Amino acid sequence: MLARSGGAPAFTPLVLLAAASLFTALLTILMIGPLLVDMAEDLGVTIAVAGQLNAPTPFVWLFVATLAGTLSDKYGRKPVLLVGIGGAAIGLMGTGLSWDFSSALVFRAITGLMGAVPPCFLALMSDYVPAERRGRAIGLMSTGMGFAGVVGVAVMAIVGDAFGWRWSFHLAAGLTAAMWLLIFVLLPTGKPSNVVPGTILSRFIPLFKLSFVWDLSITNFCNRLAFFAFNTYFAAYLIEQYGLSTSQAALPVAVSGIGVIVASAGGGYLADTKYRIWVMPAGTAIGGLLGLALFGVGPHLVITVALGLLLTTATSAPFTAFLTFLSIIGGPRRRGTVQGIPALSNQTGTTLGPVLGGVALAVWGYGGIGVICGVAGGVALLVGALRLRESRLQEAADRIARLDD
């Protein structure tokens, strides 16, 4: 069991369980990349169309993640997690059994129930980790996303190359079912106390009235748009541009994923410093420039992989900072509700990244994906320069605190 004396989970076991859950959750989205070419051939569609299989998952994720945090305030974190992860396991198994592109789209949508994982575990961090250590906790938890890109995607690519892409989805379904069992056995049962009463909408309204929350969300939308436009098509770019096989592309994709691990942990530490307010716009802008260079210039394979590593590093730290900022704004009484806020910008960006990337690929080639990354980075930098201030973060937190007293 995770509980220490007094019933509260110990820091390290809680963070490890959260990281493992995020690993499983992000793998459901990231694994599409190296399997894209094989899936397109098997399902009888183009690569640009097959890329849209990464759109329904974050679309459903958007609604699930928005509601999961506040539902976990009411019913408990554990039941909401079990419903979401169990449903996602069914969606993954169904994707592996899909008989055409339309059925694959439906099962990918069901997989979006995994959206319950991030807000529930972020709320758990707020439940049990003090504010001065929360950035570190969220950063360490977020390394699970990086390991999904480094280890998980590589394994899925190797399995897909050896046995076919369908077996990769069957394996992912098995891992998700195992994660369900771990949470069922290890996570303490119980409902949060001292939460704000009222309907779901009434809990969100004060947060949505904060202009600073919208400024953060716009910046995060740009960040996720660039990150997932890159991630969805990077493996296909390597396969088509450099003639790599699916399994050969796994190593460069894994190398780029190292940036997520490093930046997630580093972003958590930066989110506890006086420079934290600039992490989001600066990281996204740097990632945008790197995307322009990677897809636009078409450099040597080694340089391309290095640029991919730098891009994922630059665009991963901002997301950790965003989550930390929201945990501060939400305070002790809106821990679950506030973690539904990222879903709007996060999943909109995650959905539109593959969609716009597919359109750009079909019309302009891979260089168009680089342009999307560059534009997203420029908008994020502009919002940061004009709107993001440390004083506004504290003002937003104080306003919610006064309301909830």
User: 84: closest CA among 69, 68, 98, 95?
Assistant: 68
Kindly tell me if the per-residue pLDDT of 195 is higher than 90: no
Each residue's pLDDT tens digit, 29-45: 878 877 888 888 888 88
pLDDT band at 121 (very low <50, low <70, confident <90, very high): confident
Top-confidence residue, 62 or 200: 62
Structure tokens at 242: 């450099």
Exposed e or buried b per residue across 235-254, where buried means at least 16 C-beta atoms within 10 angstroms of its C-beta: bbbbbeeeebebeebbebbb
Q: Quick one: pLDDT at residue 40?
A: 87
- Report the mean per-residue pLDDT for the chain: 86
Q: Mean pLDDT throughout 79-101? A: 91
What is the CATH T-level fold of the domain 12-186+200-404, as seen in this structure?
A: Growth Hormone; Chain: A; (1.20.1250)
Kindly tell me if the per-residue pLDDT of 357 is higher than 60: yes
Kindly tell me if the per-residue pLDDT of 7 is higher than 70: no
Burial class (CB in 10 A: 0-12, 13-18, 19+), 158: middle
Report the first-to-last Cα separation within the chain, whole angstroms. Answer: 34
How do the domains of the chain map onto residue ranges? 12-186+200-404
% of the chain exceeding 70 in pLDDT: 95
What is the DSSP secondary structure assignment for residue 150, as one 8-state letter? I
* pTM: predicted TM-score of the whole model, two decimal places: 0.78
Q: Which of 66-75, 265-274, 343-352, 366-375 has the lowest mean pLDDT?
A: 265-274
Kindly tell me if the per-residue pLDDT of 338 is higher than 60: yes
- DSSP states of 61-112: HHHHHHHHHHHHHHH-HHHHHHHHHHHHHHHHHHHHH--SHHHHHHHHHHHG
Tokens 């994922």 correspond to 312
Q: Mean pLDDT throughout 87-96? A: 92
Q: Quick one: pLDDT at residue 8?
A: 64
Each residue's pLDDT tens digit, 180-194: 999 898 887 766 666
Each residue's pLDDT tens digit, 149-171: 778 888 888 898 888 889 999 99
Kindly tell me if the per-residue pLDDT of 54 is higher than 80: no
Residue 219 host element (H or E): helix 211-242
Q: Quick one: pLDDT at residue 201?
A: 79
Q: Which of 191-205, 222-236, 263-277, 339-353 has the lowest mean pLDDT?
A: 191-205
Q: Mean pLDDT throughout 207-216? A: 94
pLDDT band at 5 (very low <50, low <70, confident <90, very high): very low
Q: Is 130 helix (H, G, I), strand (E, B) or coil?
A: coil
Q: How far is CA 376 from the centre of its chain?
A: 17
Exposed e or buried b per residue across 165-199, where buried means at least 16 C-beta atoms within 10 angstroms of its C-beta: bbebbbbbbebbbebbeebeeebbeeebeebbeee
Kindly tell me if the per-residue pLDDT of 6 is higher than 60: no
Top-confidence residue, 145 or 230: 230
Each residue's pLDDT tens digit, 250-298: 788 888 878 888 888 787 778 778 888 999 999 999 999 999 999 988 7
